[in-house]
Structure 1
Amino acid sequence: MPSFHHGDVEIAYLDEGEGDPIILVHGFASSKNVNWVYPTWVSDLKKSGRRVIAFDNRGHGESSKLYDAAEYEIAIMASDIAALMDHLKLDRADVMGYSLGSRMTAMLARSQPHLFRSAILGGIGIGLIEGGGPGENVAKALEADSLDEVTDSVGRTFRAFADQTRSDRKALAACLRGSRRLMAKEEAAEIAVPVLIAVGTADEIAGSAHALGEIIPGSEVLDIPRRDHMRAVGDKVYKEGVLDFLSRRP
């Protein structure tokens, strides 16, 4: 698996296919494989004629594990996307995030719009601005000695997922605590690249996609019917909507 260094942090990535590049940015406690390879996003995008690049966020997958929460400030995490583009000598790309990956994508789209052909924000709605989703309860669940000790239902879900993926739980707890900064409404309103917001209609973590769509100028909203935060990732409606959106980019 190829990798590169952004400062002292080693970032593992995959780079497959040919055509216009799209960069995939996974969610919290996930990885490039769990979020994008196993649900066949990588293969489906390659079949549509795209060069597909996906990486493991710092603290996740095969990338460096860090235990200082300050190393996971959301702007720092977003800068890993730009560093990867610089490493691959990409001037512009479509970028699709999911959940935490969408928060990173939105942050970079606002600060460095010249890097973007478009931004796809999966698994995040008004929660980008108002918050919600995993908090200190999840961080404590990740640090518990065993799943049996975790009584919080959301904490148990994330702890079980982290155990299943054999993640570094202490690194994830640091990531969760360090990446909490929300985007101000005024900041989201400054995003000036084409944006698709895709959220499951049963997603209780992301918040309203339509409420966020009213704030980001010219953005489009894709409802993923009857899918919650976890099950929306590989949904057919999600994939078809993304491919349609990408096909309309000049």
Structure 2
Amino acid sequence: MPTFTTDGVEIAFDDIAPPDESRGVMLLVHGFASNRKEGWRRTGWYAALERRGMRCIALDQRGHGESAKLYEPEAYGRDRLAADVIALLDHLDLRRVDLFGYSMGARTALAAAMAAPERFSNLILGGVGEKLLEPRAPSGPTDAMAQAMLADDPETISHPMLRSFRHFADEQGEDRRALAAFTRAQNPPLDVEAMNRSPVPVLVVAGQRDSGAGDPDGLASAFPEGRGVTVVGCDHFSAIPHALTKAAVFDFLDGMLDDPFADRF
């Protein structure tokens, strides 16, 4: 298992290079309570990228998987998560890559692309949509998630979504105390004006039944070169492994999403 250290934090990652990586490099950023193996390998992205001839890099975000576990919310500010992504590029001596983040990982990927747009050829935001632009309450959902992570008995969690995330964390063997700290990190609102000026082409893709994401087109329209795709029949969890999501991503990278009728798969 390769690792590197940045900001005093050990980060685990995979780096899988095909014999011919002429089709570029993709860096993958997983979602909350997941990890690189569950979020990307099990869902078929490693194999799909290998078949495409792309070098595949995926990290465990701090607090997740095989990366270091930290228990102070301050350690999980989005600027630090984004800095981990950029530091991994520096560690691997990569100047520019395609970047794909899913769910919470989409927030990290967006922050990285806003901080260093010159490092990314394309940005793919999965499992998110127009609701990403809505202001978050200063407390409430994030603390509820932290409490769900810390509950002694997951069956006492009344909210279905929170209970499903708790079960998912348990299934992956994640450190729930670190995840609780992760959710309690305080972050500034998204800089929509910076998004409006971003030079990076952006694909926003989410399942049709992903009620927590909202319309991908609503978020894509915040970028000068944004495109939204809705994957019909999928929810938040079923969209990521779906073949139609992979088709949308690869069509975007190949410049084949210019057809105005190609925005729903």
Distance 1:179 1:36, change over 3 A: farther
Output the aligned Cα RMSD. 1.6
Residue ranges of structure 1 left out of the alignment (5+ in a row): none
Task: Give the 5 Å matches for 1:90-101.
Answer: 90-101=94-105
Q: After TM superposition, give the deviation of residue 198 of structure 1 in Å.
A: 0.6
- 1:202 corresponds to which residue? 209
Kindly provide the CA deviation profile for residues 182-231 of structure 1, in whole angstroms up to 9, marking residues without a partner as x.
31322321322011111111101122211112211121111111111111
Map 1:12-27; keep pairs closer than 5 Å: 12-18=12-18, 19=21, 20-27=24-31
Tell me how far 1:131 sits from its aligned partner: 5.1
Counterpart in 1 of 2:4?
Answer: 4
Given that 2:221 and 2:227 are in contact with CA atoms closer than 8 Å, whether structure 1 keeps it comes out as no
Q: CA deviation at 1:179?
A: 5.7
Amino acid at match of 1:15: D
| Structure 2 equivalent of residue 32 of structure 1 | 36
Higher mean C-alpha displacement, 205-214 vs 126-135: 126-135
Distance 1:233 1:15 in 2: 20
Q: 1:9 to 1:218 in 2, by over 3 A?
A: same
1:106–1:191 contact (8 Å) kept in structure 2: no
Residue 82 of structure 1: SS of its match in structure 2? helix
User: Counterparts of 1:238 and 1:35 in 2: how far apart (Å)?
Assistant: 14
Q: How does 1:3-152 map to 2 (within 5 A)?
A: 3-18=3-18, 19=21, 20-130=24-134, 135-152=142-159
Taking every aligned residue pair, what percent have the same amino acid on both sides? 39
Distance 2:149 2:109 in 1: 25
8 Å Cα contact 1:128-1:182 kept in structure 2: no
Q: Secondary structure at the match of 2:152?
A: coil
1:56 and 1:204, CA in 2 relative to 1: closer, same or farther beyond 3 A?
same
Q: Secondary structure at the match of 1:46?
A: helix
Q: Contact (CA 8 Å) 1:199, 1:206: kept in 2 or not?
A: yes
Deviation at 1:78, TM superposition (A): 0.8
Q: CA–CA distance in 2 between the matches of 1:168 and 1:131?
A: 28
Q: Does 1:153 align with 2:145?
A: no
User: 8 Å contact 1:45–1:52 — kept in the other structure?
Assistant: yes
Residue of 218, 222, 230 corresponding to 1:215 = 222
User: Are 2:235 and 1:228 equivalent residues in the alignment?
Assistant: yes
Query: TM-score normalised to the size of structure 1?
Result: 0.95
Query: Retained in 2: the 8 A contact 1:138–1:154?
Result: no
The equivalent residue for 2:174 is 167
Which stretch shifts more, 177-186 or 215-224? 177-186
Q: Which runs of 5+ in 2 are unaligned?
A: 257-265
Instruction: Normalising by structure 2, report the TM-score.
Output: 0.90
